[in-house]
Amino acid sequence: MSEWLNRFRTFLAKRSGVALDADKLYFVESRLQSLAQQYGMASAEDLFARIEKSGDPVLESEIIQALLTNETFFFRDRIPFDHFRNVVLPHLVEARAAKRHIRIWCAAASTGQEPYSLAMILDEEARRLAGWRVEILATDLSEQALETARQGVYTQFEVQRGLPINQLLRYFHREGDRWRVAEHLRARVQFRQFNLLSDFQPLGAFDVIFCRNVLLYFDLDLRRKVLNRLVGAMAPDGYLALGATESVVGICDRLEPHPKHQSICTRRDTIASPPVALARPALKLISGGS
């Protein structure tokens, strides 16, 4: 492996947490090629040499963003969203009845499909949330992805991935060959750049955290650190949803995975466990389990 690719791997891991496998390094050159051209450089290696020399923060951020994988789609994997609607929300409606305030964090929101999926569910559950304040904070390291998320404009291909037709027609309107998310849905989500390597404390505590399909890019040690910090950012009866292939087992024993769906976790150190049923339960059942 070229020496510069080794240094690049260290640079990327330090800034973003993303740990590239040695056998994936070939794609660094192809991903950076067009950026190199934009900057009048012959190769990705020359582009990186410029960063090493000048430390230009704008170029640095562009290079990192070019390497991040922003793959996402509406209602991805379905189960965490069904669980949110059928179990988490009824529990929170009861448990937070006094303050009527719920805080949700999408911690690697990419281009916005995940927070907008949650916003659609909240809109559909508006009757039971009348008079409530429900915040959705959507963060990501990539400013470019967040810009797309803020715009809320998606291609036909993007809306066809995971979004049922009735929700497409209800929450989006056509603009040429694209679809724009309805303003009232967009207004439900606050977008902000945030690096998962930084301190979570300023963000406060959350009732629900979706941190999906990002920890898999980190090495084991960093996954453990971030999971522990996520626990610190969860309300005692809060929920954490990870990606379908991600798990806390053997990494963070402060989290209890759902018996059937390992990617949905609650805090183990909580005095009373929140409910784990997945079918749409009656509210009474929920209050009995919380």
Ligand X SMILES: C[S@@+](CC[C@H](N)C(=O)[O-])C[C@H]1O[C@@H](n2cnc3c(N)ncnc32)[C@H](O)[C@@H]1O
* Shortest separation between residue 118's beta carbon and ligand X, angstroms: 11
Concerning whether 221 is annotated as a catalytic residue, the answer is: no
For residue 249, which phi and psi values (nearest 5 degrees)?
A: -60, 125
From residue 163, how far is each of 15, 75, 77, 86, 90 by CA, in Å?
A: 33, 7, 12, 18, 23
Nearer to ligand X, 6 or 69 (CB): 69
Q: Which of 9, 103, 140, 223 is catalytic?
A: 140
State how far the Cα of 149 lies from the Cα of 235, in Å rounded to an integer.
Answer: 26
* Shortest separation between residue 195's beta carbon and ligand X, angstroms: 4
Q: How far is CA 78 from the centre of its chain?
A: 15
Name residues contacting ligand X, limited to 263-282 (CB under 6 A).
Answer: none
Name residues contacting ligand X, limited to 242-261 (CB under 6 A).
Answer: 243
State how far the Cα of 177 lies from the Cα of 21, in Å rounded to an integer.
Answer: 38
Number of chain residues interacting with ligand X (CB under 6 A): 23
State how far the Cα of 254 lies from the Cα of 268, in Å rounded to an integer.
Answer: 5
Q: Which stretch binds ligand X (CB under 6 A): 39-47, 129-137, 141-149, 161-169?
A: 141-149
Element (H, E) at 49: helix 44-54
Name residues contacting ligand X, limited to 192-221 (CB under 6 A).
Answer: 195-197, 212-214
Give me the residues that bind ligand X (CB under 6 A), please. Answer: 16-18, 68-72, 76, 108, 110, 114, 140-142, 145, 195-197, 212-214, 243
Give the catalytic positions in this structure.
Answer: 31, 140
